[in-house]
Amino acid sequence: QSVLTQPPSVSGAPGQRVTISCTGSSSNIGDNRDVHWYQQFPGSVPKLLIYANNNRPSGVPDRFSASKSGASASLAITGLQADDEADYYCQSYDSVLSYSVFGGGTKLTVL
């Protein structure tokens, strides 16, 4: 059971917009802790997609964006492409556990 809750799967057609939610609690996201997002293709290394809530590392397309509100965060992908099909993970810091925690991951399927 992950500390941060993500839907196991989401799907969308090419060109559409999809969002992936990440629900935490008052000891992590709700404690104003930053949220970070990673993209992981099968058999590959997690890649930093968004850091500190809504910042994209160099090279990440602006089709990827994220937001945070209260104890939840969400990742949005617009103009969905076939090669966006991957697993997506959120991460934050939990002030009660005193370490970084991840969501269980969401598998994005492009129909």
Partner 1 sequence: QVQLLESGPGLVKPSETLSLTCTVSGDSISSFSHSWSWVRQPPGKGLEWIGYIYNSGHTYYKSSLKSRVTLSVDTSKNHFSLKLTSVTAADTAVYYCAREPYCGSGCGNWFDTWGQGTLVTVSA
How many Å apart are CA 20 and CA 107, to the nearest integer? 9
Residue 56 engages partner 1 in binding (rule: CB under 8 A): no
Q: Which is nearer to partner 1, 16 or 52 (CB)?
A: 52
Residue 63 engages partner 1 in binding (rule: CB under 8 A): no
Residue 98 engages partner 1 in binding (rule: CB under 8 A): yes
Which listed range, 11-19, 66-74, 75-83, 92-100, lies at the site for partner 1 (CB under 8 A)?
Answer: 92-100
Fill in the amino acid letter for 64. F
DSSP state string for 54-99: TBPPTT--TTEEEEEETTEEEEEE-S--GGG-EEEEEEEEETTTTE
* Nearest one of 33, 34, 50 to 88, comparing CA atoms: 50
Q: Which is nearer to partner 1, 16 or 55 (CB)?
A: 55
Residues that bind partner 1 (CB under 8 A): 2, 33-34, 36, 38, 45-48, 51-52, 57, 89, 91-93, 95, 97-105
